[in-house]
Structure 1
Amino acid sequence: MTKTTSTRIVAAAEALFYEHGLRSVGVDAIAERAGVTKRTLYNHFQSKDALIAAYLDARDTATVERYRGWLGDPSRPMEERMAGLFAALADHAAQPRWRGCGFTRAAVELAGQPGHPAVRMAARHKKRFAEWLEQELRDGGATDPAHLARHISLLIEGAIAQMLIHGDTSYALSAGDAAVTLVAADRALAPPQPGSAAASPERAA
């Protein structure tokens, strides 16, 4: 299937923005990479800010789905799934073209413009990601999924930042160890299930 013109433009913007940053990439370079004229680009996107918003919007669902795949089979224990997620993050970060989280980078790059569409979109994405993670943890039996999701989100962000700074993917594995510990600690707070050894007075006697 042939890509539409707008899809080609967004794909070109995504590649350039992610690799080089938002400010340093001009619309001329995006148009050239997409194989369109600058006039055509502006016929589809009224401004560079609109194109930045489209670039981030295109990454939103794809990013959540990537992490969903990394978390894996819901039938497995959450500790194993969480370890797998961070191991997959480490493998992903080992790719030569990896530059961290595009949403975080956009928010940092435009931190002086809190009303910028990219900053607002980054905030919406992070909120959506946290809500997705909270639901996964709730479905996995967490006693306090909102609290746990916030802590694990911080571990993900911290691991990404440290890997960008040091070029060392072991930070993701260390963050994964911490996430597994948090999941296990939360599980230990769960009330015993009916019929379990801990819930049986006869076994406790």
Structure 2
Amino acid sequence: MTSENLSAKDRILDAANRLFYSEGIRAVSVDAIAAKAGITKKTLYYHFKSKDDLIAAYLASRDQPNLALFRKWFDEADGELADKVEAIFSKLAQSARHPNWKGCGFLRTAAELANMPGHPAMRVGAAHKKKFEAWLFHVFEDCQTENPHELARHVVLLMDGAFSTVLVHHDAEYLVSAGRAARALVANAS
């Protein structure tokens, strides 16, 4: 579907996704989003009450696609449970090598809004991270690992720590290393 076929609201979200992810939420104005979407600022505000609501909608639009991608990578990976978990990190490392990769949009947004814990986007980001952790918990529980809740939390910590470290050092190998650590944790719990 081309951008001309999208509704105004979808064009706004598409423009917000592109601009917020590539430049950051504070650096991008509502005017820039409206221009990129090919609509007026009035139309943007018809669909979103404020820039804050648009930021939350931007993250919400990334929630299910990101979770589905993690599940896909896990399901398509060969091997045992530990291999499948490591595969998620390997695929993330592959993505991080792309020149347009800017890290985890949820974490980057949280960093920009760290002094605003009540911001609606912070709630969306926290919910996304909890959904990923809950999915891991259920996978680990179904596979009868030891302490699936703590194991899921450890894998999340490895992933988010690796995301941050890759951004600091611009080196995707940190995701590979975190994947090996996650693999070892899962193998020891299986």
Structure showing greater Rg:
1
Identity %: 47
Q: Which residue of 2 aligns with 1:193?
A: none
Unaligned runs of 5+ in 1: 188-205
Matches within 5 A, 1:121-140: 121-140=124-143
Q: Which runs of 4+ in 1 moved over 2 A?
A: 72-76
Q: Deviations over 1:80-100 (max 9, x none)?
A: 112211110100111111111
Q: Where do 1:97-176 residues align within 5 Å? A: 97-176=100-179
Amino acid at match of 2:189: D
Q: What is the aligned partner in structure 2 of residue 41 from structure 1?
A: 44
Q: Structure 2: which 5+ residue stretches go unaligned?
A: none
Secondary structure of the 1:22 match is: coil
In the TM superposition, residue 121 of structure 1 has moved relative to its aligned partner by 1.3
Paired residues in the alignment total 187
One-letter amino acid of the structure 2 residue matched with residue 71 of structure 1? F
Compare 139-148 and 53-62 and name the one that shifted more: 139-148
Return the TM-score normalized by structure 2.
Answer: 0.94
Deviation at 1:74, TM superposition (A): 8.0
Between the two structures, name the one with larger relative contact order (CA 8 Å, sep ≥ 6). Answer: 2
CA RMSD of aligned residues (A): 1.4
User: In 1, distance between residues paired with 2:160 and 2:154?
Assistant: 10
1:81 and 1:153 mapped to 2: Cα distance?
15
Aligned counterparts of 1:127 and 1:83: Cα–Cα separation in 2: 20
Q: 2:23 corresponds to which residue?
A: 20
Structure-2 residue corresponding to 1:54: 57
